[in-house]
Structure 1
Amino acid sequence: MPEQVHERGPGQGEGAEAGQGRGGPLRAFGLAEVYNPSMVPTLQPGDQLVVQYGAAVRPGAVVVLRHPFRQDLLIVKRAVQRRDGGWWVQGDNPFVENDSREFGVVPEELVIARAWVRVRPPRGVQRSVAGVLSWVVSAVRPVRAERSLSSRLRAR
């Protein structure tokens, strides 16, 4: 089953293109929800991502893109390498191959946003200040490019 992302924003209902093509220092931000396990352990199903539309993509960045064969389906992958024709993308979960190993290079115009922050939803009700602080410390994390990505991919 393909990785699936539910996108919210910018402008609720305007879709992904609403944030593309905007210049200047302020670019559109939005939320995306992860539904499938292709990015485990980095992202879990249910995680929310704060994404920036039209942001520059660098190798190692986590991106939201349109599936090359089903462009109505949004997926989350790691941009591994720029190649002729676009980006080679892969999930972090070695057991899920719904990525460039299956569909090849993704054209650059299908990469719509870059993930900046992951928010993991709370499990259960947090009734104490300590519980809420514990959740905030563990749940809100920047999504960074993996430093050892190239060596990890060569080792496989």
Structure 2
Amino acid sequence: MPVRRVVVRGRSMSPTLSDGDTVLAVRRSPKAGDVVLVTWVSRPGQLSVKRAIRPDGTGWHVEGDFPEASTDSRDLGPARVHAVIRWRLRPRFGRV
């Protein structure tokens, strides 16, 4: 699917994104600094929204913007990036 709507859950991307925000994910190659939709080998069914920091082996090192509330590459290792988050649709429309 080239475009996907995703509802953010949790506080890990605060203040950039909040729990309950609806965002639009677009399938494209990430670059450092992008907000991305990811999975980890150890959690294949769980989609997460994180910030791409740097390529790491065959995946990406990703982190939440609010480290105290984030489980990310610091705990789980490199992530597989599925899409880049480009737009917030709700509660207020805008570019991420």
TM-score w.r.t. length of structure 1? 0.58
The count of corresponding residues between Structure 1 and Structure 2 is 96
Aligned partner (choices 118, 126, 145) of residue 88 of structure 2:
118
Supply the RMSD in Å over aligned alpha carbons: 1.3
| Deviant stretches of 4+, over 2 Å | none
What is the percentage of aligned positions where both structures have the same residue? 34
* Secondary structure of the structure 2 residue equivalent to 1:60: coil
Question: Counterparts of 1:5-154 in structure 2 under 5 Å?
Answer: 19=1, 28-53=2-27, 55-106=28-79, 110-121=80-91, 139-143=92-96
Relative contact order (C-alpha < 8 Å, sep 6+): which is higher? 2
Q: Distance in 2 between matches of 1:84 and 1:66?
A: 15
* Secondary structure of the structure 2 residue equivalent to 1:101: helix
* Secondary structure of the structure 2 residue equivalent to 1:72: strand
Structure 1: unaligned runs, 5 residues or longer: 1-18, 20-27, 122-138, 144-156
Amino acid at match of 1:113: A
Q: How big is the shift at 1:96? A: 2.0
* Secondary structure of the structure 2 residue equivalent to 1:89: strand
Q: Which has the higher strand share?
A: 2
Q: How big is the shift at 1:84? A: 2.1
Q: Which has the higher helix share?
A: 1
TM-score w.r.t. length of structure 2? 0.91
